[in-house]
Amino acid sequence: MRNYPAVLAALLFVPFGMLHAQADWLALPNPTNIITICPGGNAVGSLLVGDFGSNGAPTDVSFSSSSTDITVIGIPPTQCPNGNFAVINFFLFASPAATGSYSVTATMSHSGGLNPTQLVFTVNVQGQITTTITNASGANVLCPSSSATLVANATGGNPTSYRWYLNGVFTGMTSAVLNASVAGSYTVSAINTCSVEGPKSAPTVLTTGVPTQITAETCILLPGGDYQNTITLQGTNLAYQWRRNGVNISSGGDFAIVNTPTSTQLTVTNVSSHDGAVFSCIITGACGSAFSSGCVALPVELMSFIGAWTEGGVRLEWETGSEINNEGFEVQRSSDGIEFTALEFVPGAGSTEVARQYGFLDEEGASFPGRVLYYRLRQVDYDGSSNLSDAISVVVPGNGGLELLAFQTGGESLEVTLLSGGERNLRLILSDALGRVHIQTQLALPLGQTRLTIPSTQNLPPGVYYLYLSDGQVRRSWPVYR
């Protein structure tokens, strides 16, 4: 009995290009005409043959190969009975030297005289798979407590697994992705479906990164008056950005910048035009960033400024650590700390990195007995620009001069700081805004600055109080607040 329906049902799912038919038979791959084989290995192919039975003879199937590297042998029976269909199988053997693609042909024929037909199979010999590495983390630097994500990319087949190597030694890792936390040279290979390991990839080298850190920073004045800021560091792949008052600068004009892998140096010329400017540097590296504390370019570095009463008047002394284009110092005096008068101009040293000492005697200070005098310096450059120092105070001995410098309330006492122009015995009164006396005591006040503690103020309600001091000749009062 001829089984046409079964054959026709199978044909419904066959692409037209894969169907090979003659008047008495037809054939198609079972299930595909593409076969993969390993070098030196074997595989089994198959095709489905249907015989329509119009001539009474069975259909014979024979096989041939396009190369001696591929041997093909039909598995008996290699014949489809008349009026039926059959699955015909065949063995494939690849030589160890086989590589690339080959073809194997199945030829259908019979003794009835009809022309033979052929069904061609493509045989792909599985070659070695090549690989490359992509560092998904970007940088090839391993910072402390970090890792790099390495990804294997395969070409020439579908790997069944991978083999990762560190410095030529197998790590035991076989997946496509490796999280590398140890510095060294990484390579990877791929295993194909024939369990053959392909060649190792080109190496990806990971290095150990050093955290970015400033180890030293110096600011000096060079002979000739140029200012120089040098920063030394530790770190990996360092980059530097110098700034002036927070604005980025680069080499050129008044600025010369020299960088090395672990240091950067800024030299500033024409320093007087950058008086008071703050120069700093932002350092970025593979393992973090750092910010320099910054140096201020000052034409004159004033190290100290002091004053004291002597028998001849008020003696002022000051010291500079360095000077740039310094014409000199104008000495100024004030009796109230607000309005200052110029007394004398003391010439400077021009430009020097050597410490210099200066002095001035205010003989007129003796004409202010018992007073507090204030002094400051106005430093002047050759170009006319100037800077003012902080003011200092000096007490001139005498019967006058009594000042309240500061007071502090809280807790169980009132603390006041007084400045006296001479020794005196005082009567102290603390009263409220209605004139009621809350505290009254006698005290001895020495020459100069004295800090007093007035106890038993914890029970006073908050408000304005008045502190009165009197020695019979000098009477002073100040409002204080609790």
Average pLDDT, integer, range 440-465: 79
pLDDT for residue 313 is more than 50: yes
Average pLDDT, integer, range 147-166: 95
Average pLDDT, integer, range 85-99: 95
Residues 345-383 have pLDDT tens digits of: 999 988 777 889 999 999 998 888 777 889 999 998 887
Question: Residue 138's pLDDT band (boundaries 50, 70, 90)?
Answer: confident
CA distances from 125 to 90, 92, 98, 168, 360 (A): 17, 11, 7, 29, 101
Average pLDDT, integer, range 448-472: 79
pLDDT for residue 224 is more than 60: yes
Structure-token pair, residue 242:
């110098």
How far, in Å, CA of 322 to CA of 222, rounded?
Answer: 10
Average pLDDT, integer, range 409-413: 65
Residues 194-207 have pLDDT tens digits of: 899 999 999 999 99
Q: What is the pLDDT of residue 7?
A: 43
Residues 182-192 have pLDDT tens digits of: 999 999 999 99
Q: What is the pLDDT of residue 350?
A: 83
**How many Cβ atoms are within 10 Å of 300's Cβ, its own excluded?**
24
Type of residue at 405: L
Average pLDDT, integer, range 120-130: 93
The answer to whether the CB of 198 falls within 8 A of the CB of 192 is: yes
Q: Where are the beta strands (DSSP E) in 227-312?
A: 227-234, 239-244, 247-248, 255-260, 263-268, 277-285, 288-291, 295-297, 300-310
Query: Residue 393: in which H helix or E strand, if any?
Result: strand 392-395
Q: What is the pLDDT of residue 266?
A: 94
Question: Residue 3's pLDDT band (boundaries 50, 70, 90)?
Answer: very low
Beta pairing, strands 277-285 & 295-297: antiparallel
Query: Residue 208: in which H helix or E strand, if any?
Result: strand 204-208
The answer to whether the CB of 457 falls within 8 A of the CB of 409 is: yes
Residues 28-78 have pLDDT tens digits of: 999 999 999 999 999 999 999 999 877 788 999 999 999 999 999 999 999
Structure-token pair, residue 55:
């001539």
Question: Residue 5's pLDDT band (boundaries 50, 70, 90)?
Answer: very low
Q: What is the pLDDT of residue 219?
A: 80
DSSP line for 149-196:
EEEEEEESS--SEEEEEETTEE-S--SSEEEE-S-EEEEEEEE-TTS-
**How many Cβ atoms are within 10 Å of 355's Cβ, its own excluded?**
12
Question: Residue 278's pLDDT band (boundaries 50, 70, 90)?
Answer: confident
Question: Residue 159's pLDDT band (boundaries 50, 70, 90)?
Answer: very high
DSSP 367: G
What domains can you pick out in the chain, each with its CATH number? 4-125 (2.60.40.10), 130-208 (2.60.40.10), 213-297 (2.60.40.10), 300-395 (2.60.40.10), 402-481 (2.60.40.2360)
pLDDT for residue 110 is more than 90: no
- Lowest-pLDDT range of 17-21, 267-271, 302-306, 406-410: 17-21
Which residue has better confidence, 287 or 368?
287
43 Cβ contact partners less than 8 Å away, ≥ 6 residues apart:
35, 36, 37, 91, 92, 94, 123
Please return the burial class of 482, using the count of CB atoms within 10 Å of its CB with bins 0-12, 13-18 and 19+: middle
How far, in Å, CA of 318 to CA of 305, rounded?
Answer: 4
Which residue has better confidence, 111 or 10?
111
Best CA proximity match to 1, nearest among 50, 60, 53: 53
Q: What is the pLDDT of residue 12?
A: 40
DSSP 6: H
Q: Name the range with the highest mean pLDDT among 96-105, 263-272, 411-420.
A: 96-105
| Region for 245 from its dihedrals, namely left if φ exceeds 0, alpha if ψ lies in -120 to 50, beta otherwise | left
Adjacent-strand bridge partners of 466 = 431, 479
How far, in Å, CA of 294 to CA of 429, rounded?
Answer: 51
Q: What is the pLDDT of residue 409?
A: 65
Question: Residue 95's pLDDT band (boundaries 50, 70, 90)?
Answer: very high
Question: Residue 411's pLDDT band (boundaries 50, 70, 90)?
Answer: low
How far, in Å, CA of 404 to CA of 233, rounded?
Answer: 51
Question: Residue 250's pLDDT band (boundaries 50, 70, 90)?
Answer: very high
